[in-house]
Structure 1
């Protein structure tokens, strides 16, 4: 429990320096060791009593976010298994565990809009730091998790369960800590938590002015100094994290009224998703299913999903209470602004376009509505493509930039202005049956170039993984994508090409998609996926 260094600190605190100096020269070492050993035993007993008291308080709490069972992560740590796990759900589960434990111990807290909004940040007063440690250690004994120092950064305890005292060796110097739970779904293909967690900051009380103030230990998105008696208010999770569901119906969190202001990058307008359904058959349905799952997992902020059906919609496609609208008489490509009830801003997903990790609306749109399309490598072939000549004739400005495949940010106003100009994109080959990687889609290139020249698009450089199913050695490439899970956009081509079907590339991509997106979305009626999904 306690160690000799802890006893030495207590010894220095309770024994004055002159007395220690005399004892050092006149008291035999054996006697000094005996005194310090007695302090260690006393501290051990005291710590054990306090831990048991905190454990009783935690066990009285109602933790609805407890996991269904435990497992082991690939590196040997303890993980928690949840049916239907999503990144956003894991964030809320972490928040509920920590705040329930703090409430059980009657420790006042409030959330803070952190600079890194992947994580929820909670503030407590510095005077409660000792009690916070005991309560969290008891919580981590009941619900195994891990603790690291967030400020100053020190993660050398990341492998030690937080119920162990040695996991708290950096706690005394920490101005902010991070509590992490590792979570997965039944197949254990998706792991969440390593880059999330709940950060707890220790705010100090400043009494220099007539009104006491709380001072934060590090910058946040609003301010570091707030009145100590500021009123507490409810705040939704999307105001704390841009990665959260805008219309989530789960209970809000608590913050101070001084923090309830819009973020600079906050998107206040709705964003829809438009999915093109063109290919019937097994691999075509797998692409559609994977796109829906990627939206559910990594873009919970999307509003309505419009499935533009150029073929009969799969029987398993579910309307999800009005969140999915199937358009059976679709407009021509490039005229998606004519879709019934589509939002002014939407994300376009052509077949094979997927999200690969959590996203925010700000990753694709600016707060003023400007789109943020992804750039791609500018090649000689692109410079000679028909759409570049059309882009020049339409705008009077030469095209000098290509655009990556994958999810595309669109706005109805840009599409309407482009349609009024009379410009029409060139016919594009079917990317799923084409024997090689296609160039930039002519409609995407024309729309983004038109928007950019009119100041309605701000080009972005986020990396997109583009894979053709007939690629030699595709298995190794897919395995790397599965292990890393670090790219925001994925685009698969060629699943219907003869070579991919003949050589097994299409099957390899399907197996990859089932492992990358193992959690069924609410847009699948009855979730009738192949049983191999859960093997």
Structure 2
């Protein structure tokens, strides 16, 4: 299908399940966290208003917030929730984080017409429908909350299903306030805005709780900036005659900016609102739309992090990545993202870290080829070969797999250790103005395999896809991605220059997928 034709279709028509339900509430800040907060607040307010006893429960990972009501209060609870003109809907069986969204919406019923499904259900999904003003983002039962009916056995209330803390609490036990981070894993203690009634059993700090802050670091360049282009061209002209630069290291596609950073940040704040701070590393550039006064975002100049600023300017992401851990104020635990990485649905901190600080990495099925790095045309493959040699010399183990293009979970202390152990390789790469066959890829491969071999990283799993914007099949793929929204993470990359029509389609896709502005955008 021609790109322009598909672009017009994407502009004018979305899949049927994505159309906004009549009862949807339009929210400027529409997001999974907003939907869960608003739904939970309403449920708690309705129960409190009717003096129905309840307490919030710590859900298992992947489940929405849960509210417990004693079984003998079922009738009063249902009456309280069905009262009023609110748009709460209900279904008998709770749904997983994903699942068939069309089926989910079809099983939901307004509470006043859902008495039959509430009569003996042990767990009920309660939800409201929300939508962005653009109507391209709809949030429903997957971002609601669960109502659990706890049965009485003697002096105990017994949970109807497993949760993250305990199976029973005393009937007459104390009710205390608990921060919302206990019940919604998209929230951290530092971001707490609410407290909810709960039982002391659910307020304990558990062994797998992630209580440490997690920052995000981006590298970004505006390849259209005339001053930056002049610096790059001067560096190319002055490069050593004997330095063989791969075409992939200097192609315009490597430096093209289509406002991806704006939408990557939208994806981060929408689907990982637990991020503590965001650091954007640039060559003295600042996106025109970025609110640099926001306390959560900081623009970092290359000269602030390079051990030897005299090597600047550099136009080599491998070089910049060897210096990221030098950012002053960066948290011990952080995610590293390129501006073409996007989160596609809600992800929890445990996707990337264990509660004890161990990081997760995500191996790809693509192999690092065997051979000599100096003969390898791809700088990425050459860096992987160099990583392999270093780890073989250190441990006798051989790496064969590249990693997926998804956010990289890292620890500053491990990066400093790597820099000390492989000082020559770090220094040489940091001085390489453009990608060469002698580079290492420190944060996108070496750190993770080194962490694994030293017991500080483990493989993880993530639903991921890679999109090459220059391919003819890409428009159809983008349309399917917007329809399904089933990927945890996706990467929109380009290995060759794109056409204006392809750029326009990408802009429309990103605006439709991420319509809610991040707090870092100037209005």
Residues in 2 aligned to 1:430 and 1:277: alpha-carbon distance in whole angstroms? 15
How far 1:394 sits from its partner (Å)?
2.2
| 1:378 partner SS | strand
Residues in 1 aligned to 2:27 and 2:52: alpha-carbon distance in whole angstroms? 29
Q: Partner residue of 1:63?
A: none
How far 1:102 sits from its partner (Å)?
0.6
Alpha-carbon distance change, 73 to 180 in structure 1, aligned in 2, over 3 angstroms: farther
Alpha-carbon distance change, 121 to 286 in structure 1, aligned in 2, over 3 angstroms: same
Structure 1 residues 16-95: aligned runs within 5 Å: 74=19, 76=21, 78-95=23-40
Tell me, yes or no, if structure 1 residue 180 matches structure 2 residue 127: yes
1:513 to 475, 500, 510: 510
How far 1:245 sits from its partner (Å)?
4.2
Q: TM-score, normalised by structure 2?
A: 0.77
2:263 to 256, 268, 290: 290
How far 1:365 sits from its partner (Å)?
0.9
Q: Partner residue of 2:235?
A: none
**Runs of 5+ in structure 2 lacking a partner?**
1-16, 97-102, 226-255, 307-319, 373-380
Question: What are the Cα deviations for residues 55-100 of structure 1, in whole angstroms up to 9, with x where unaligned?
Answer: xxxxxxxxxxxxxxxxx96385521111112211111100111111
Tell me, yes or no, if structure 1 residue 501 matches structure 2 residue 499: yes
Tell me, yes or no, if structure 1 residue 375 matches structure 2 residue 323: no
Q: Partner residue of 1:145?
A: 88
Residues in 2 aligned to 1:80 and 1:311: alpha-carbon distance in whole angstroms? 42
Residues in 2 aligned to 1:130 and 1:278: alpha-carbon distance in whole angstroms? 60
How far 1:129 sits from its partner (Å)?
0.7
Residues in 1 aligned to 2:89 and 2:157: alpha-carbon distance in whole angstroms? 28
Question: What are the Cα deviations for residues 410-434 of structure 1, in whole angstroms up to 9, with x where unaligned?
Answer: 1111211111122338699999xxx
Alpha-carbon distance change, 83 to 451 in structure 1, aligned in 2, over 3 angstroms: same
Q: Partner residue of 1:393?
A: 389
Q: Once structures 1 and 2 are overlaid, which stretch shifts more, 106-115 or 142-151?
A: 142-151
Tell me, yes or no, if structure 1 residue 270 matches structure 2 residue 213: yes
Q: Is the 8 A contact 2:468 2:494 kept in 1?
A: yes
Alpha-carbon distance change, 164 to 281 in structure 1, aligned in 2, over 3 angstroms: farther
Q: Is the 8 A contact 2:211 2:355 kept in 1?
A: yes
Residues in 1 aligned to 2:370 and 2:516: alpha-carbon distance in whole angstroms? 38
Alpha-carbon distance change, 470 to 262 in structure 1, aligned in 2, over 3 angstroms: same
Q: Is the 8 A contact 1:238 1:244 kept in 2?
A: yes
Residues in 1 aligned to 2:104 and 2:138: alpha-carbon distance in whole angstroms? 21
How far 1:216 sits from its partner (Å)?
1.6
How far 1:161 sits from its partner (Å)?
3.4
Q: Partner residue of 1:419?
A: 419
How far 1:259 sits from its partner (Å)?
1.4
| 2:481 partner SS | helix
Q: Partner residue of 1:303?
A: 276
Q: Partner residue of 2:521?
A: 524
2:353 to 344, 360, 365: 365
How far 1:248 sits from its partner (Å)?
2.3
| 1:199 partner SS | strand
Residues in 1 aligned to 2:141 and 2:18: alpha-carbon distance in whole angstroms? 11
Residues in 2 aligned to 1:442 and 1:494: alpha-carbon distance in whole angstroms? 22
Tell me, yes or no, if structure 1 residue 102 matches structure 2 residue 47: yes
Query: Which structure exhibits the higher relative contact order, with contacts defined as CA atoms closer than 8 Å and separated by 6 or more residues?
Result: 2
How many residues align? The count is 437
Residues in 1 aligned to 2:135 and 2:361: alpha-carbon distance in whole angstroms? 33
Q: Once structures 1 and 2 are overlaid, which stretch shifts more, 233-242 or 282-291?
A: 282-291
1:319 to 292, 302, 308: 292
Q: Partner residue of 2:174?
A: 231
Alpha-carbon distance change, 382 to 231 in structure 1, aligned in 2, over 3 angstroms: farther
| 1:465 partner SS | strand
After TM superposition, what 4+ stretches of structure 1 lie above 6 angstroms from structure 2? 425-431
How far 1:445 sits from its partner (Å)?
1.5
Residues in 2 aligned to 1:269 and 1:383: alpha-carbon distance in whole angstroms? 41
Structure 1 residues 467-482: aligned runs within 5 Å: 467-482=467-482
Structure 1 residues 181-200: aligned runs within 5 Å: 181-200=128-147
Q: Is the 8 A contact 1:373 1:403 kept in 2?
A: yes
Alpha-carbon distance change, 338 to 380 in structure 1, aligned in 2, over 3 angstroms: closer
Alpha-carbon distance change, 94 to 414 in structure 1, aligned in 2, over 3 angstroms: same
Alpha-carbon distance change, 403 to 243 in structure 1, aligned in 2, over 3 angstroms: same
Question: What are the Cα deviations for residues 148-187 of structure 1, in whole angstroms up to 9, with x where unaligned?
Answer: 113799x89944531443x332222211111111111100
Question: What are the Cα deviations for residues 330-381 of structure 1, in whole angstroms up to 9, with x where unaligned?
Answer: 4332221111111111111113012111111111011121111111113364
| 1:362 partner SS | helix
Tell me, yes or no, if structure 1 residue 123 matches structure 2 residue 68: yes
Q: Is the 8 A contact 1:298 1:359 kept in 2?
A: yes
Question: What are the Cα deviations for residues 311-336 of structure 1, in whole angstroms up to 9, with x where unaligned?
Answer: 51023211354211111234332221
Q: Is the 8 A contact 1:388 1:398 kept in 2?
A: no
Tell me, yes or no, if structure 1 residue 216 matches structure 2 residue 159: yes
Alpha-carbon distance change, 227 to 164 in structure 1, aligned in 2, over 3 angstroms: closer
Residues in 2 aligned to 1:365 and 1:239: alpha-carbon distance in whole angstroms? 18
How far 1:123 sits from its partner (Å)?
0.6
